[in-house]
Each structure stands twice: as structure tokens, then as C-alpha cells.
Chain A
């Protein structure tokens, strides 16, 4: 697929309209499958018992928190280098979704931490860096809304997204660099996952479901954004400056 073919907002909106029900439907089906599998079929953890089942909500949310920011950073770079007209729209539409995933990861992490670590919150490297990620999302959203002229806001937001991307490797490797309370990576490691396959499979399905959900919501938000821009253009065209 050529990214320039869909640079035309109308063409992209059409594609999004076609794909939306499929991605959303598949996301819901996979999410229900993974929920049943994770809650009822997968075995409980030998140490943590049933409490570890929150992993099926927490871990995919944390993955998505980072993935969505990575999408924002990459599309900001695309916008920055090639001025791709939809890249800014994608980044802007992603930010609130990413912020919600990050908040979900933080909240479920706290709920999990309370029974397991005996505390809701510790200033551990992973937790702190994810919290910073949350604030980066907020700053990005605020910057968009603070600058009135969209073209200008887009250019400022690109730079912010790229600068903030420095935080991503810090989050990913925080658990390896600093020996912290949060457990080290168990799924994405060089020597393969260290998780039992009965637990890993529903987790990966849930991860896929989250991803599809993100894509579906992204399509919805991007369509809304494109429509909003058209409205703005029409309105500006009808009402001369000053009125």
C-alpha cells in the first residue's frame, strides 16, 4: 500500500469507513475470546493465584501506551520530513487514545500492586516513567488545543512528540537497567518469552484485540478530524475574516 495514495483525505476517509466495522468487530470478538480464556480457562498463577488474571487487562494496556506513542512519534516524523497531510491527523487522533491506555495501565497496575506488593504506588523506575508518559500525552493534547491555528499547532506538536519519544526506550528498558520492584520483561525478550504458553496465548490474543481496538478508534477519530477540517475550511470560506 502506497502511503501517498491515501494522502488524499477523502480517499482515506473512504478506506477508514470500509475497514472500521471489520477492525471493531474483530477487536470485540478477540477481546471476548481472550476474556473468557484468560478468566476461566487459563490456569491461575502458582504464587499469585487468581489475582494475576489482571495481567490480561494490564499488560496489553501498557503495550498500547507505548505503541500509540511510537505511532505518534513515527507519524510526527513522517509529517516533519515529508509533510504527509494525514500524519498530523493520525498523531493528533492517537493522543487521547494513548492517554487512556496509559491511564488504564497505571490504574490496573495499582490495583494489581496493592495485593502483590502491599502498596498502591511505589516510585519505581517503570511506574515513574509510565507516569511521565501520561504527562507527555497530556502536554501534547494541551499544546494542540492551546494553539488556535491548526497548521501551526500541528508543526509545534510534531516537535513535542519527537522530543518526548526519548522516554520510550527508558520505559522499555527501565526494568532491566534498574533493579526495581516491577518485574522484568517476560514476553518480549531476546531469549523468548518466559511465560507459560497457557497464559501467554490469551495474553497475546488480548494484545491483538487492544491493537485492533486502537486502529478502529483511530479510524473513527481520524474521520471525525478530517470532517472537522473540511467544516472549518467551508466555514472560513463562507465567512470572511473578521466576521
Chain B
């Protein structure tokens, strides 16, 4: 348990302090949303209709940013070898990495998104639902992202490769997350989409953790 917490603590500190970490991903998220009115025009109705999907797309893209730094530097400087040697099962080490990534990306977006809701004229009722969908969905994004980052850790400058691996797998969360927000905004009950989002997210967290551990084992064979 101490090792588990130590990995989380270390990664969170690194995520906050290193460049390209948590602050950058939050800034990127904000910037995407700020760019939207220039692209779509500032019409409040247009923005309102597009907001649920845009928030989720911004979340998908900004969680991509931090992925390269979770595994690759560690496998280059030998930290990953120490993690493999530790008595902690590799699955739990992978889970710690996932949690740390979520704390420095998904959690921040969850807090940030409702505050940015007025930018895209998202309705007041939909803002808490948006936060809830992000709370449910972003852990899955971190889990899938970490697994794919572990797979791609031996690829030099694998940013684009990582995007190609991660984004198709993230589509379900985009669909269910934005449809929950959209139905809340339309005054309907978002329950069904929320349940599907939660279910997909749970599956992804289990599969992502196991896959990440399996991918981390590649390195030591």
C-alpha cells in the first residue's frame, strides 16, 4: 500500500511540476473551448447546441496531452524497472499510474468544465450533469490512455501513434458522455446515458489496468 501511494504521490508531483503536465492540459482544454466561437460563430443557440459534444471532445484531446509523460520517461530512466522489481503487483502499479494521471487531468477537467460552461452557453441545468459525466468518464480515459502509453512506450516521439491508438477506443465515452449532457440540456432525463457511460467506464478501467500491466511486462522480457 505504501508503494502504491508512493507511485501516485510521485506521479502527481511530477504531473504538477513538470512542463506539459496538469496545468498545460487544463490550459489546452480552456483554449479549445475558447477557439470554438471563432470557428462556429458566436451565436448563442449554435454554441448551446454544440456545447455537450465540444466539452467532451476537448476533454478527450486534452487527456491525450499528458499521456507521453506517464510511462516513457520512466522506462527511459530506469524507474519502470524499479517499479517492476517492487513486490507490488504490476497491475496495482499500473492502477497507481492511472489514478495519478486522472488526478492531474480528469479531476481538473471535472472541476474546470462547469466553470467554463457559460463560455459555450451551456444551460445552467446541464452544467452539473457535465461535471458528473466527466467524473464518470475521465477515469476510463486515463485507464485506456495509460494502457496505450505503456504499449507505445518503446516508440520514439510516439505522440501521433498514441493519438491513433487511444482515440478510437475513447469514442464510446464521447458518445454517452455528450448525449447525457445533451439530454439534460434538452430537459430530459440523462439517466440512461449516464448508466451506459458508467458501465463502459468500469469495463474500461478493468481492461485498461490489466492491459497496462501486460504492456509494462513487455519491457522486462
Decide if A and B are genuine partners: yes
A positions within 8 Å CB-CB of B:
80, 128, 132, 135-136, 138-139, 142-143, 146-147, 149, 152, 155-156, 159-160, 162-164, 166
A146 & B171 in contact (Cβ 8 Å cutoff): no
A-B contact count (CB 8 A): 56
CB nearest to B175 among chain A residues: A128
A156 CA to B214 CA in the complex, in Å? 9
Given contacts A143-B161, A146-B161, contact A156 B154 (CB under 8 A): yes
Q: Which of B161, B168, B211, B215 contacts A136 (CB 8 A)?
A: B168
Residues of B within 8 A of A163 (CB): 147, 169, 207, 211
Residues of A within 8 A of B117 (CB): none
B218 within 8 A of A: yes
B155 within 8 A of A: yes
B154 & A160 in contact (Cβ 8 Å cutoff): no
Residues of A within 8 A of B215 (CB): 156, 159
B167 & A147 in contact (Cβ 8 Å cutoff): no
A221 CA to B52 CA in the complex, in Å? 45
B203 within 8 A of A: yes
A152 & B169 in contact (Cβ 8 Å cutoff): no
A147 & B155 in contact (Cβ 8 Å cutoff): yes
Residues of A within 8 A of B151 (CB): 143, 156, 159-160
* Shortest distance from the beta carbon of A121 to any chain B beta carbon, whole Å: 16
A142 & B164 in contact (Cβ 8 Å cutoff): yes
A166 & B155 in contact (Cβ 8 Å cutoff): no
Residues of B within 8 A of A139 (CB): 164-165, 168
Residues of A within 8 A of B168 (CB): 132, 135-136, 139, 164
Residues of B within 8 A of A152 (CB): 154, 218
B188 within 8 A of A: no
Interface centre among B148, B151, B155 (most CB of A within 10 A): B151
Main secondary structure of the interface of B (DSSP, over half): helix
Number of residues on chain B facing chain A (CB within 8 A): 22
Residues of A within 8 A of B128 (CB): none
A147 CA to B218 CA in the complex, in Å? 12
* Shortest distance from the beta carbon of A141 to any chain B beta carbon, whole Å: 10
Interface centre among B161, B169, B203 (most CB of A within 10 A): B169
CB nearest to A149 among chain B residues: B154
Residues of B within 8 A of A138 (CB): 164
Residues of A within 8 A of B161 (CB): 142-143, 146
Given contacts A146-B158, A147-B155, A152-B154, contact A160 B171 (CB under 8 A): no
Residues of A within 8 A of B190 (CB): none
A156 & B169 in contact (Cβ 8 Å cutoff): no
CB nearest to A160 among chain B residues: B151
Residues of B within 8 A of A156 (CB): 151-152, 154, 215, 218
B77 within 8 A of A: no
Q: Which of B152, B203, B218, B221 contacts A146 (CB 8 A)?
A: B152
* Shortest distance from the beta carbon of B168 to any chain A beta carbon, whole Å: 4
* Shortest distance from the beta carbon of A236 to any chain B beta carbon, whole Å: 18
Given contacts A139-B164, A156-B218, A163-B169, contact A146 B155 (CB under 8 A): yes
Residues of A within 8 A of B154 (CB): 147, 149, 152, 156
Residues of B within 8 A of A160 (CB): 148, 151, 165
CB nearest to A155 among chain B residues: B218
B164 & A159 in contact (Cβ 8 Å cutoff): no
- The 8 A CB mask of B172-195 against A (1 = contact, 0 = none) is 000100000000000000000000
